[in-house]
A and B are shown apart, each in its own frame.
Chain A
């Protein structure tokens, strides 16, 4: 503190650099960030380090426990497939779902919320009423229904999960947009003859990014969870491709004979969710001024 006061001309500090300072001091969040970066790297590069493929069968090593000697570091499943590679492939699916579905939910949520908040009035009330109605629907059941009806298609899963997760985002963005629309610079833009769509894009959305980032980080674990839930039930990713949910399911069935089949994917999934939750919490402390007192 005193160092900052002593320096003659402090450089201007944006919201982002401030947030970065707060975040960097948050040890839990930083650890989570590093872990996650490592995990992402491993998931991308790891399969090349192993001589095995995700769907190849090693007939000599069926249901092998984890072993360094035979090269199956996480062991193999009942079909002799290498679990190290399969777990990493599952990780690719989970992280990809996290990214794609979150992007979809951001796109819908921000657009919807910013329009409702900026336009305000009756339009806003009507749009938010729809959100209220959708909010009370049991979405997991509807997604399962969707999977049952339209087949177990990975692309559909990605978009379906994103398309149901935008409600929170829309509410948050709308609340922010509602306060932003009264700000002087928005008024100035309007007085200058800038049209609504452009104001929303250039003035409203950039200024609510802080909150959006926090909730996006918290959306990622949610969508990863939904995908693994579906895959666990056998309604998500289909064989021979796999995902953490599917692997946990296979492991749960071989619990007594091959506990490693459960443990590796279970720990990977839990650890990923854990990291995202910690980062989200840390970001909230860093970017959301309301919570700073606590």
Chain B
């Protein structure tokens, strides 16, 4: 073997990464094109108001927003602007660009979302592991029953119920807003976002953990007299978490989608709330900007998850 030949293991991972990247790019383009043409197909324009505008003014408006160009040119311009991080002006919030609105709302949403994700992973993995260790015993049934309930209660039902119980009846936590930004204000929204995901992750972890615990290498580890704790943490957990890692993508998408309603319910000034306001006000550019922004985020994060998966799964690393 020539000395400067790249390590085949790294090459395999690199090839895997490039392959995934080539998969992500068309998805992104399809997303943008779909959003773009849907908007153009829609009946009614963004300048439809109660009063009909004089035709000259409308023509001027259209020219100002470049709506008088042929479609392919508009798409090209849109893509070019996107590449520079410019999502165009908002039709409703006249003084703001969509980019500015995203920059205002996203950090708030990001904080909620990442806390929810961390909570979902921590709780879900622990509950799933516990259930697997007590398979077909009362603790298992209780945990999995709870998980089924969690899956069946959508977060827009869960959120008002949490407010009703913890804010209105018990008065422990604030019902909404961000207040001074302290943790108390995000507890309920984060729980509302995380709980359905806790349930999914717990079920996934339980299933794969049961399978891993049956495999010979775990029996060997046990036969060597290792305590259960060590067997689980050192040997079983990593392979058992592979399905959870591949679920991270859908989980992220679900949390981002969920944040739209949860922010609405708790009055959190995040990107999701802008999105809903934009949707109700038919603010085309804002809605499209958020769709493209969140869509790209989901696609990018999915790509990252794929990479992590490739790095974790020895079957991919060693071929």
Contacts and interface: CB of A to CB of B under 8 A. Distances in A.
Contacts of A281: 148
A136 B299 contact: yes
A148 B31 contact: no
B288 interface: yes
A266 B192 CA distance: 14
B299 A270 contact: no
Contacts of A144: 275, 279, 287, 291
Interface of A: 132-134, 136-138, 140-142, 144-151, 221, 225, 228-229, 232-235, 245, 248-249, 251-252, 255-256, 259, 262, 266, 269-271, 273-274, 277-278, 281, 294
A232 B164 contact: no
A149 B41 contact: yes
Interface in B134-180: 148-149, 151-154, 156-157, 159-161, 163-164, 168, 175
Give the secondary structure class of B's interface: helix
A38 to B, nearest CB: 17
A142 B298 contact: no
B136 to A, nearest CB: 10
B295 A141 contact: yes
A186 B3 CA distance: 53
Contacts of B160: 248, 251-252, 255, 262, 266
A156 to B, nearest CB: 12
Contact of B148 (A136, A138, A149, A277): A277
A249 B282 CA distance: 20
B280 A132 contact: no
Nearest to B154: A225
A140 B265 CA distance: 18
A273 B288 CA distance: 31
B157 A248 contact: yes
Contact of B291 (A145, A150, A245): A145
B38 A145 contact: yes
Nearest to B163: A255
Contact of A232 (B41, B261, B284): B261
B104 interface: no
A243 B125 CA distance: 35
Contact of B279 (A136, A148, A221, A262): A148
Contacts of A294: 207, 210
Interface in B252-290: 253, 256-257, 260-261, 264-265, 275-276, 278-280, 282, 284, 287-288, 290
Contacts of B72: none
Interface residues of B, number: 53
B23 interface: yes
Give me the 5 closest cross-chain CB pairs, A-B, nearest first: A149-B42, A252-B160, A274-B152, A273-B152, A136-B27
Interface of B: 23-24, 26-27, 30-31, 34-35, 38-39, 41-43, 148-149, 151-154, 156-157, 159-161, 163-164, 168, 175, 207, 210, 253, 256-257, 260-261, 264-265, 275-276, 278-280, 282, 284, 287-288, 290-291, 294-295, 298-299, 302
Contacts of A251: 160
Given A132-B23, A148-B282, A138 B157 contact: no
B149 A274 contact: yes
Contacts of A147: 279
A149 to B, nearest CB: 4
Contacts of B26: 133
A271 B259 CA distance: 23
Contacts of B302: 136
14 contacts: A134-B30, A137-B27, A137-B295, A138-B31, A138-B294, A142-B35, A148-B282, A229-B154, A229-B257, A233-B261, A245-B156, A251-B160, A262-B160, A269-B154
A165 to B, nearest CB: 14
A281 B253 CA distance: 24
Contacts of A229: 154, 156, 257, 261
Given A145-B38, A149-B42, A221 B152 contact: yes
Given A133-B26, A149-B42, 10 more contacts: A133-B27, A142-B291, A144-B275, A145-B291, A149-B41, A229-B154, A248-B156, A249-B156, A251-B160, A270-B154
B279 A133 contact: no
B23 A235 contact: no
A277 B152 contact: yes
